[in-house]
Structure 1
Amino acid sequence: MPGPLHGIRIVELAGIGPGPFCGMMLADHGAEVIRVDRPAPGGDPRGPTARHSRDPLLRSRTAETLDLKSPDDTLKLRELLKTADGMIEGFRPGVIERLGIGPDVLLADNPKLVIGRMTGWGQDGPYAAAAGHDINYIALSGVLGALGREGEKPTPPINLVGDFGGGAMMLAFGMVSALLAVKNGAPGQVVDCAMTDGSALLMAMMWGFRAQGIWGDARGTNLLDSGAPFYDTYETADEKHVAIGSIEPQFYALLRQALGIAQDALFDNQYDRTRWPAQKARLAEIFRTKTRDQWCAEMEATDICFAPVLGWDEVADHPHNKARGTFIEVDGVTQPAPAPRYSATPCDPPRQ
């Protein structure tokens, strides 16, 4: 079977970033995703998709080109959506309503349709009509303020948390949930996915830690934000880096043994935060005594919780990634493979 979503038809109104990522996920897992492109500048009837064939976010789709400002093309879209299970759109609130294809119209045409609406701020609220990007959405949700090293300004995590984690993946989950509800007899509905909401939700564990008094407000001073010496990255002798995550006491003990500091009293009392700066400085000295490959030879695939920090040109060739097929090549483009994996309904290989 070609993926667990085989038999589901999704119409994706072309956009950038989180909308296409959501469409990619649904297509990866077997849904038929039809991407509706705007006409390309200069009248190219193929639309923008043809000019971005090397973009993994657009893989495994069929494409149609419709001018949604044209009444005739709007009617064509409505006819297409009568045969669909879901639609993805990422315009600002009110845009599809003004185009005559708002939820009231589409749900009247197809009462079982699931309409996924991807925005930064949400469909309502004081910011709803304003422009923004990932960095703005995660700033407002409180995520950005928690990211970065102690004493330094907040560090944006590329656009992983807002666009893709709190946006696209949240929308994919919401749409599949709504599709399951339809299967169980519920009507079609709108899924209002806001990156501010989604990125805030991703911080649920940290809010819990804060309520328990084990997470402070100052970034870069906590267990998982580079504050702890046993959960950080370190430079090696060849100016590369390794990542250490020895949180549990038994793993921390293995780290101390491997580094030759098992008897060093400085590293007793693992969670004594007053010692963390001195411990971190000492660990930095130790890790700079050997190359990354030398540390890998000693620590890789152990319970120390260790990994080399790999670069773009290294990840696809790492033995673990190769064994699992974590990266694939589609039409000459190296890209991540679909995830997660299924035992009974494995996904078909992506296509461009």
Structure 2
Amino acid sequence: MTGPLDGVKVLVLAGMGPVPYVSMLLADMGADVVRVVRPPNRAARALGATVGLTDEKDVVNRAVSAVAVDLKDPEGKAAVVRLAADADVFIEGYRPGVAERLGLGPDDLRPHNEKLVYVRLTGYGQDGPRSRDAGHDINYVAQSGALHAMAREGEGPRPPINLLGDYAAGGAMGAYGIACALVSAARTGRGQVIDAAMVDGVAALTAKLQGLRAAGLYSDDPGTNFLDSGAPFYDTYRCADGRYLAVGALEPDFYREFISRLGVDTDQWPDQEDRSEWANLRKLIGDAVSRRTRDEWAAVFNGTDACVTPVLTFDEAALDPHNAERGLYRTVSGVLHPFPAPRFSGTPARDPQAPTGDLLDTAAVAARWN
């Protein structure tokens, strides 16, 4: 057995953002994932050249098979319906109503497969005034209210690349929903439709913040709280070589450990909890950190409880002794692959392999699944 999802068959209508990411998460854990792509043509090749991402470098498609199907062709649609009849999971990332117009909506597939888990991955969800609007990660994070909090004091919000909406709130939440629905289908014999909206997922991720806000422990003024760069002991600092140090010394014991190793006299420094002195404290910490290089500080704080780490590049992270021992990243055909997470003792995930642009025939997939 390879992975806890060994034997689970997943059919995916190719899309962007969370769709390929959830496909990778399932494939990493042993699921047989087949992606339905448009037939190769000049326009598709031109798009690939524009994006500049070759098949073997598209990490999210590792361990994912592909079939080329024209969904507007009745024969192509019929082939997808036949595959869905044997699948455990069907994933689409279209705007509401598009799958139905293609004849591939939940009501079209359910008569052929009562246990099918049908997943709809969108930005705004299947209903509501914005459900049919176009958007990207930054829009869904903004719509949830979370983007407002991602700013330094006096500055505009900064989107966290597309890690939050597309991948955490979309792909990871979608995979969680699929796992839940598969457990239910195994128990009841019936599948269901999953409305996996990125705006919903981001909102769910703010649960702890909502409690803090209600208790008066979190301000809606961004950049003024403990975890949003407001606290000088939870921030990044520039070192003598222009690289950065990450400081997370929130608790008093960790904070005392941190300042005790800065190599400067801290007896007259303001109290950690005195917010009126945070600006002064930030300057004091910044001045102290600026006296040594990042790697010199890394050596000073290594093995301590000061909660201080060097800010590593991806290549440095792959070579870091701790990460290397755990195999956090693997280099496959010259491409850095994150190792599948989480880790299982009895059914370990697949080792990362280079994605391939090879296309399978739908009949071959049908034979494999049967």
SS of the counterpart of 2:261? helix
CA displacement at 1:17 relative to structure 2 = 1.5
Aligned match of 2:279: 277
Partner SS state of residue 195, structure 2: strand
State the match for 2:104 in structure 1.
101
RMSD: 1.7
User: Contact 2:114 / 2:189 at 8 angstroms: preserved in 1?
Assistant: no
Q: Distance in 2 between matches of 1:185 and 1:225?
A: 44
Q: Does structure 2 retain, via aligned residues, the 8 Å contact 1:261–1:267?
A: no
After superposition, give the CA deviation of every residue in 1:263-296 in whole Å (9 maximum; x if it has no partner).
524342x222111111011100000000001101
The secondary structure found in structure 1 opposite 2:190 is: coil
Counterpart code for 1:36: V
Answer with 16-25 or 251-260: which moved more: 251-260
Alignment of 1:1-352 (within 5 A): 1-42=1-42, 51-260=54-263, 263-268=266-271, 270-351=272-353, 352=355
Higher mean alpha-carbon deviation, 177-186 vs 152-161, is at 177-186
Equivalent position amino acid for 2:11 in 1: V
In 2, are the aligned partners of 1:89 and 1:117 still within 8 Å (CA)?
yes
Alpha carbons 1:253, 1:262 under 8 Å: kept: no
CA distance in 2, matches of 1:52, 1:139: 32
Gaps of at least 5 residues in structure 1 are none
1:341 Cα deviation after fit: 0.8
CA distance in 1, matches of 2:44, 2:97: 28
User: 1:312 deviation in Å?
Assistant: 3.0
Mapped partners of 1:186, 1:272: distance in 2: 59
SS at match of 1:198: helix
Instruction: Using the TM superposition, name which of 180-189 and 4-13 deviates more.
Output: 180-189
Q: Percent identity?
A: 48
Per-residue CA deviations over 1:94-138 (Å, capped at 9, x if unaligned) read 000000111011111101000111000001100011101111111
SS at match of 1:33: strand
Distance in 1 between residues matched to 2:59 and 2:322, nearest whole Å: 22
For 2:44 and 2:220, locate their aligned partners in 1 and report how far apart those are by CA, in whole Å.
52
Following TM superposition, by how much is the alpha carbon of 1:261 offset from its aligned partner in structure 2, in angstroms? Answer: 5.8
Residue 244 of structure 1 aligns to a residue whose secondary structure is strand
The answer as to whether partners of 2:340 and 2:350 remain within 8 angstroms in 1 is no
Question: Hey, what's the Cα distance between the residues in 2 that align with 1:341 and 1:302?
Answer: 26
Report Cα offsets for 1:39-80 as digits up to 9, x if no partner.
Answer: 1223989x97x9522111110011111111111110000000
| 1:256 and 1:262 in contact (8 A); partners too | no
Using the alignment, how far apart are the partners of 1:157 and 1:42 within structure 2?
A: 34
8 Å Cα contact 1:114/1:188 also seen in 2: yes
Q: Which residue of 1 aligns with 2:363?
A: none
Q: Deviations 1:177-212 (Å, cap 9, x if unpaired)?
A: 000100111511111011111011111111111111
Q: Is the 8 A contact 2:337 2:352 kept in 1?
A: no
Structure 2 Cα separation of the partners of residues 313 and 260 of structure 1: 30
Matched residues in 2 for 1:237 and 1:156: separation? 28
Length, aligned pairs only: 349
What stretches of structure 2 of length at least 5 have no aligned partner? Answer: 356-370
TM-score (norm: length of structure 1): 0.96
Mark the CA change 1:53 to 1:163 in structure 2 (over 3 Å): closer, same or farther: same
